[in-house]
Amino acid sequence: MAAVVLVLTALEDVTADRVVEALNERGATVVRVDPGDVGPTLGFGFRLDRGGSAWGGRLRTASREVDVAAVTAVYCRRPTPYATRFSRLPRQAREFAVAEARHGLGGVLHSLRRAQYVNHPAAVARADFKPTQLQRFAALGLHVPATLITNDVDQARKFAAEHERVIYKSFRGLPEGEDGCAGAIWAQRIEADALDDSLSVTAHLFQAEIPKSGDVRVTVVGRRVFAQRIATPEGALDWRRGDWDRLVHTPVVVPKAVRAALHSYLASFGLVFGCFDFALTGEGTAPEDWWAIECNPNGQWGWLPDAPAIAAAFADILSGEEAEDRDDGK
């Protein structure tokens, strides 16, 4: 039975396209499936027979069919939410169908014993909370900005008074509006006198602003480390806010102590891959110049200049090839 790499993602996913292309170059057998297609175009039948300890059975798309017992690696990218598939059903029926699909189809796809997951959804869920991330960074010896999480205006004002500059960040992205369009809330400076009792409605994240000389996106895939310093022409507080075509990328070497902390961070959550954001002070050559901001356990990297090398690193892991431990900054 030939080994299979299962790619779980939506139909349109440029990042996954890069990984699939790199796997094809290695001659790997790749089956791409969107679990959110469950229905007539995505059928399945899985069995756990008496005396067995692993799921077997077929997963069938409109163009491919695979025995899940042959799957040796799973790339969990960004499949369509089950809720989208069942959006036209009445509320009770929709919620029931979503739960059954997630626990049934999703339960099997997340329980393939032979498979290397990049990353397993359970590991992503464990690592997806910013308070947990910041605490883990600090425990591993990385520098973390002074942070306040609160819904109390008095505490927020006190925190703002204690630091020269304070920024506000959202914990999550802005969900889609009624028009179906998603938005974004960028990191922004706040003043103490602008804070009011409306803070009590929900949780807010405030941090002391780091007098940074630059930003770095570090992409870690297995033992490989890729780092790009990012600059905007106007020196924006949040580089994501401007025109990405005007961003300036420069390869940078991650200090050995920081690199070791990142590997330890991923291992502590059972992750194989993560996208880390850092603020740099000074020249960025010493570990103390690196301030950990967050880690996205399913982050974007397809737009980076070293995306082809990152895709190759993914393909190495998914195809079972060993990759050496090195910094690919420069």
Total domains in the chain come to 3
Residues 47 and 155 reside in one and the same domain: no
79 and 36 in contact (C-beta within 8 Å)? Answer: yes
Average pLDDT value over all residues in the chain = 91
Q: Which domain holds residue 154?
A: 146-208
Rg of the chain on CA atoms, in Å: 22
pLDDT for residue 1 is more than 60: no
Per residue in 66-111, pLDDT (tens digit) is: 999 999 999 999 999 999 999 999 999 999 999 999 999 999 999 9
Q: Considering the domain boundaries, does residue 276 fall inside one?
A: yes
Alpha-carbon distance 317 to 329, whole Å?
20
Say which residues have a Cβ less than 8 Å from residue 56's Cβ, sequence separation at least 6.
46, 47, 48, 49, 67, 68, 69
Phi, psi for residue 98 in degrees, rounded to 5: -60, -50
Q: Are residues 264 and 295 in the same domain?
A: yes
- In the prediction, which pLDDT does 180 show? 66
The helix-helix angle for 14-25 and 307-318 (nearest 10°) equals 60
Residues 228 and 197 in one domain: no
pLDDT, position 324: 60
Maximum alpha-carbon separation in the chain: 67
Q: Which residues contact 92 (CB under 8 A, 6 or more apart)?
A: none
Give the bridge partners for 169, in sequence order.
Answer: 205
CATH label of the domain that carries residue 36:
3.40.50
User: 164 and 200: one domain?
Assistant: yes
Model pLDDT for residues 137-171, shown as the tens digit of each residue: 999 999 999 999 999 999 999 999 999 999 999 99
Query: Could you tell me if 34 and 47 lie in one domain?
Result: yes
Q: Is the pLDDT of residue 330 over 70?
A: no
Does an H or E element contain 137, and which? helix 130-139
The pTM (predicted TM-score) of the whole model is 0.91
On whether both 219 and 204 belong to a single domain, the answer is: no
CATH code at position 179:
3.30.1490
Q: What is the structure's pLDDT at 184?
A: 76
Whether the CB-CB separation of 301 and 310 falls below 8 Å is answered with yes
